[in-house]
Amino acid sequence: MPDHTAATDELAYDRRRLRQYLAGEARADGVERRTLLKLLAAAGGAAGLGLGAAAPATAAGPGIVKPLPAELFTVRGTNAESRTASWQGAGFHTPLDRFFVRNHTSTPLLDQGNWRLKVWGSGLRHGKASEFGLDDLRRLPAVTTEALVECAGNGRSYFTTQQGEAVSGTAWGLGAIGSARWRGVRLRDVLHRAGISRDAVDVQPRGLDAEYTTADGANLGRVRRPLPVAKALGDVLLAYEMNGEPLPADHGHPVRVLVPSWVGIASIKWVGDIEVSDTPLYSPWNTDFYRLYGAAHPPAGSAPLTRQTVKSAFELDHGAAFPAGRSHTLTGRSWSGAGGIASVEVSTDGGATWRRARLHDSARAHNWVRWSLRWRPERPGDTHLLARATDTRGRTQPDRTVHNTQGYLFDAVVRHPVRVVEGG
């Protein structure tokens, strides 16, 4: 029998992949041999060298199609961060007009009539490729999944502003996340139709957006990242609708991959082909990027990132003003990649005392909960609001996140600055 189930343990799986690479059984197009050798050194327990990960390219302006009004977004290079204040009263799912956009290059304009998905590779029976149009996908059973998409770097700026640590990458606040109702087909159904063989080990979707070139000029090719076959045959969707509408251009029109609870990079937008391989695959997005590097991590990095951490955000801008001597309702959202949220505590005095927030949604995996708390500040002055969530697995947000050079998976309690002003 093929060993599909064991492969969800990404660390063990990664070690196996590395051994296969060493044995000449794995392919790593676009990954420098130097990088792989460092990973191999680490897997073998040898001391490695610090890894100089490529910095993301910066472009002149965002190649994003939808309007980016300042009340909804903060533009960061090729990306647009959703303002958490714009989530207040906006419903459980993030309206499409304020859903964050993370683009390595820019949004391609694809015609759904001409779009084809090619499924190919050594992991198909007889090595025979197949093609699917959007109509072909629509004829397969439709599935709806409610799930967050969150960038692995969400909250990255707090490594610097709160912990005084240097990190590379887009300086997101907490708005590199959105929730949607996704409709599409199971990737599993497409892989079975394409004739996935029992020998398949990796499934690598690739986007149709432009090839990505780093700041130092290295062309890494099209955005792509392998999924272990066990995950690809699990809860992964090929989504063609978002909140009841055809997938918008910026979010992957006409079809994107949706991997619930995993780091956003797994959810490849504008998918054009999927390689099914009987040998392990590497891409820069599971080697140089999306691993934890730094003093507290293995010399050549952690296993590739999969699940997201626990976070909480107030639906407020930094520096929001509250009149003293009056009662206010503070609102926010908390979420976890490891399950639903069980409880949220809030401090309005910089962390000295904590009260339980009222939760407005039930705990559900892949989704956030909205919460609220009454607050009556007595005296004018600057203060910090803090929110600390615990998920259904019992994981609570820590006071500090262990540093990693690329600023991934920030999960510490954020100190949100606000001003209490003279009540009029």
Q: CA 344, CA 359: separation in Å to the nearest integer?
A: 8
Q: Can residue 148 be called a binding residue for ligand MTE (CB under 6 A)?
A: no
Query: With CB under 6 A as the contact rule, which of the stretches 67-75, 260-268, 370-378, 399-407 interacts with ligand MTE?
Result: 260-268
| R_g of the chain, CA atoms, integer Å | 22
* Smallest separation, CB 223 to ligand MTE (Å): 4
* Smallest separation, CB 68 to Mo ion (Å): 18
Q: What share of the chain is helix, strand, coil (3-state, %, to 5)?
A: 15, 30, 55
Q: CA 310, CA 333: separation in Å to the nearest integer?
A: 11
Given Mo ion, ligand MTE, none, residue 269, with its beta carbon under 5 to 8 Å by kind, binds ligand MTE
Name the helix (H) or strand (E) containing 333. Answer: strand 328-335
Q: Which of residues 116-155 bind Mo ion (CB under 5 A)?
A: 151
Helix (H/G/I), strand (E/B), else coil: 231: helix
Q: Can residue 72 be called a binding residue for ligand MTE (CB under 6 A)?
A: no
Q: Can residue 270 be called a binding residue for ligand MTE (CB under 6 A)?
A: yes
| Interface with ligand MTE (CB under 6 A), residue from 66, 251, 370, 416 | 251
Given ligand MTE, Mo ion, none, residue 103, with its beta carbon under 5 to 8 Å by kind, binds ligand MTE
| Interface with ligand MTE (CB under 6 A), residue from 43, 148, 151, 357 | 151
The set of residues, in sequence order, having a beta carbon less than 8 Å from that of 52 and lying 6+ positions away, is none
Which CB atom, from 104 or from 183, has the smaller least distance to ligand MTE?
104
| Interface with ligand MTE (CB under 6 A), residue from 30, 123, 155, 207 | 207
The set of residues, in sequence order, having a beta carbon less than 8 Å from that of 238 and lying 6+ positions away, is 117, 137, 184, 185, 186, 187, 190, 255, 256, 257, 258, 271
Helix (H/G/I), strand (E/B), else coil: 179: strand
Query: With CB under 6 A as the contact rule, which of the stretches 99-107, 159-167, 375-383, 412-420 interacts with ligand MTE?
Result: 99-107
Given Mo ion, ligand MTE, none, residue 149, with its beta carbon under 5 to 8 Å by kind, binds ligand MTE
Measured from each CB, the residue nearest to Mo ion is 151
Query: With CB under 6 A as the contact rule, which of the stretches 50-58, 268-276, 363-371, 378-386 interacts with ligand MTE?
Result: 268-276
Q: How many other C-beta atoms lie within 10 A of the C-beta of residue 29?
A: 12
Q: CA 280, CA 358: separation in Å to the nearest integer?
A: 46
Q: Can residue 103 be called a binding residue for ligand MTE (CB under 6 A)?
A: yes
Which CB atom, from 267 or from 279, has the smaller least distance to ligand MTE?
267
- Cα 210–123–44 angle (5° rounding)? 85
Q: CA 366, CA 270: separation in Å to the nearest integer?
A: 22
Measured from each CB, the residue nearest to ligand MTE is 207
Q: How many other C-beta atoms lie within 10 A of the C-beta of residue 388?
A: 22
| Interface with Mo ion (CB under 5 A), residue from 27, 98, 102, 231 | 102
Q: Residues in the site for Mo ion, rule: CB under 5 A?
A: 102, 151, 264-265
Q: Residues in the site for ligand MTE, rule: CB under 6 A?
A: 99-104, 149, 151, 178, 207, 209, 223, 251, 264-265, 267-270
